[in-house]
C-alpha cells in the first residue's frame, strides 16, 4: 500500500513540475524499492530439483558444513525480495551412513567357554553384560573392522534365557545389536526363526520394532539397529561345510528410522534443519545443530565410561537412558552428563570446528523416562555448556 502512495506522489509531482526526465523518475522508484526489501520468515524443505540446481549428484549434502556453504547463494537466488532481518529455516538431507556388517561370524557359547571364567563356570551362563564383552574380546582378538558376531548364549536375569544377539565390531569396539527371539519370528507368522527374503524382512521388522520399543519414548528421527536372520544361499560358507551353493541362515544388521508413527528402513540419509538470518542482504547460517541420541549413541557412552563409572555406564547401555536420580547407585550428575555428551559428539562429529553448537536431546530416568536437553559449544577442543 505504501508503494502505491509513493507511485502516486511521484506522478503527481511529475504533473506539477512537468520537467523532471522520466528516466530519473524510474531510477528513483527502483532505488526506493531496492531499499525496502520485504522481511520474511521462510520455512522450506529442499526438493530433488533444488539439489539439481545446486549441482549435486544426489539428493543430499555430504555434510552440514556443505549445506552451510551452498545454501546462502541458493537463498539469495530463490528469495531475492527478502532483505535484512529475514529468517529462513531450511530442511534438507545429509548423507549419514550407519555401519553394517562386512563379514559374519556365527558362534554359540559352549560349556567350555563358560568354564574358562571364574564368574560364569558355576552356572554356565552370563549374568552381567561385562562378562559378554570380556568373552568376545578374548575369543575374537583380531577381527576385521565391521565384523558381525551373531552370538547365541545363555543369560540369567531372574531366570536363564537363551539369547541370540549381534555384536558388531567397529573401530576396535563391539557394539550391541539386539536380535530377535524365536517368539518374535512366530509373532509375524514365521514358521522358523528367520525370514525367507529381504523384502519380507523390510515389511515385518518395522512391526516387530514397534512392539519391541512400545514402552520407550520415541521421537521422529530415532534410529534403531536390529539383527535378523535370513535363510539364503551360503555364498560365504558360514556353516563351514565347504560348499557355497547350499542354503543356510545368515545374520544381517539393518537400521530403521522412526518417522513419528512407525519405523521404516533407514536409507543412510538424515533430515537436518539450519536457521539462516539475513544481515545486510547476506544470508548467514546459525550453526546450532539439534541432535537426538540414538541407541548406538548410548552404547558409545557405555563403552567409553565402563571403567570410569561402571554402574552408571552399564545401566545406560542396558536401558538407553541416563539415571538422574541422585539417590541411585547409577546416578549421572550434571557434570557427568556433559562428559557423556562429549563422548557422543566426538564420535558423531570428530572434526567439529571451534564454536560449533549443538542442542542434544537424550532420555533420562527420574522415576519415568523423559527427555532432557543440553546446549553445548565446542571451545578449546571440548564440548562445554553453552550458557
Terminal Cα distance for the chain, rounded: 43
Tell me whether residue 172 is exposed, middle or buried, using C-beta atoms within 10 angstroms of its C-beta: 0 to 12, 13 to 18, 19 or more. exposed
Contacts 24+ apart (CB under 8 A), 191-196: 192/231, 193/229, 194/228, 194/229, 194/230, 194/231, 194/249, 195/228, 195/229, 195/230, 195/231, 196/230, 196/231
Q: What per-residue confidence (pLDDT) applies to 26?
A: 57
Q: What per-residue confidence (pLDDT) applies to 205?
A: 95
Three cell numbers at 171? 573401530
Q: What is the rounded (10 degree) CA torsion for 333, 335, 339, 340?
A: 30
Give 74-91 pLDDT, tens digit per residue.
999 999 999 887 889 999
Tens-digit pLDDT string for the chain (387 aa): 444 444 444 444 444 444 455 566 656 655 555 456 888 889 999 999 999 999 999 999 998 889 999 999 999 999 999 988 788 999 999 988 877 787 889 999 999 999 999 999 999 999 999 999 999 999 999 899 989 999 999 999 999 999 999 999 988 899 999 999 999 999 999 999 999 988 999 999 999 999 999 999 998 889 999 999 988 877 776 666 777 777 888 889 999 999 999 999 998 888 888 888 887 888 988 766 778 999 899 999 999 999 999 999 999 999 999 999 999 999 999 999 999 999 999 998 888 888 888 889 999 999 999 999 998 999 999 999 987
Residue with cell 537424550: 362
Three cell numbers at 331? 546416578
Average pLDDT, the chain: 87
By residue count, the chain amounts to 387
Segments making up each domain of the chain, as ranges: 1-36, 287-385
Q: How many Cα atoms occupy the beta-carbon half-sphere of 125 within 13 Å?
A: 12
H or E element in which residue 67 lies? helix 64-78
Q: What per-residue confidence (pLDDT) applies to 231?
A: 87
Amino acid at each position: 500500500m505504501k508503494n502505491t502512495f509513493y507511485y502516486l506522489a511521484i506522478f503527481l509531482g511529475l504533473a506539477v513540475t512537468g520537467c523532471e526526465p522520466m528516466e530519473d523518475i524510474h531510477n528513483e522508484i527502483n532505488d526506493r524499492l531496492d531499499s525496502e526489501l520485504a522481511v520474511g520468515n521462510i520455512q522450506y524443505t529442499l526438493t530433488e530439483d533444488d539439489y539439481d540446481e545446486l549441482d549435486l549428484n544426489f539428493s543430499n549434502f555430504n555434510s552440514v558444513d556443505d549445506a552451510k556453504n551452498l545454501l546462502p547463494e541458493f537463498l539469495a537466488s530463490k528469495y531475492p525480495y527478502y532483505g535484512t532481518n529475514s529468517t529462513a529455516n531450511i530442511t534438507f538431507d545429509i548423507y549419514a551412513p550407519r555401519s553394517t556388517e562386512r563379514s559374519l561370524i556365527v558362534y554359540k557359547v559352549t560349556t567350555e567357554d563358560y568354564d574358562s571364567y571364574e564368574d560364569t563356570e558355576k552356572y554356565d551362563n552370563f549374568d552381567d553384560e561385562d562378562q559378554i564383552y570380556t568373552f568376545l574380546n578374548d575369543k575374537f582378538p583380531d577381527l576385521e573392522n565391521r565384523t558381525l558376531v551373531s552370538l547365541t548364549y545363555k543369560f540369567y536375569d531372574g531366570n536363564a534365557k537363551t539369547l541370540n544377539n549381534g555384536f558388531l565390531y567397529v573401530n576396535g569396539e563391539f557394539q550391541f545389536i539386539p536380535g530377535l527371539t524365536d517368539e518374535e519370528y512366530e509373532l509375524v507368522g514365521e514358521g522358523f526363526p528367520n525370514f525367507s527374503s529381504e523384502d519380507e524382512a523390510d515389511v515385518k521388522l518395522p512391526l516387530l520394532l514397534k512392539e519391541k520399543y512400545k514402552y520407550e519414548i520415541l521421537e521422529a528421527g530415532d534410529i534403531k539397529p536390529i539383527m535378523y536372520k535370513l535363510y539364503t544361499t551360503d555364498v560365504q560358507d558360514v556353516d563351514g561345510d565347504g560348499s557355497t551353493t547350499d542354503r543356510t541362515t545368515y545374520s544381517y544388521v539393518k537400521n530403521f528410522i522412526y518417522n513419528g508413527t512407525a519405523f521404516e528402513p533407514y536409507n543412510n540419509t538424515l533430515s537436518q534443519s539450519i536457521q539462516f538470518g539475513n544481515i545486510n542482504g547476506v544470508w548467514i547460517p546459525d550453526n546450532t545443530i539439534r541432535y537426538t541420541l540414538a541407541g548406538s549413541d548410548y552404547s558409545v557412552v557405555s563403552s567409553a565410561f565402563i571403567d570410569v563409572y561402571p554402574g552408571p555406564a552399564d545401566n545406560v547401555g542396558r536401558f538407553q537412558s541416563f539415571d538422574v536420580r541422585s539417590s541411585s547407585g547409577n546416578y549421572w550428575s550434571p557434570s557427568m552428563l556433559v562428559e557423556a555428551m562429549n563422548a557422543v559428539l566426538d564420535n558423531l562429529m570428530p572434526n567439529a570446528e571451534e564454536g560449533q553448537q549443538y542442542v542434544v536431546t537424550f532420555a533420562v530416568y527420574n522415576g519415568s523416562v523423559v527427555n532432557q536437553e543440553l546446549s553445548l559449544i565446542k571451545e578449546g577442543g571440548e564440548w562445554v555448556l553453552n550458557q
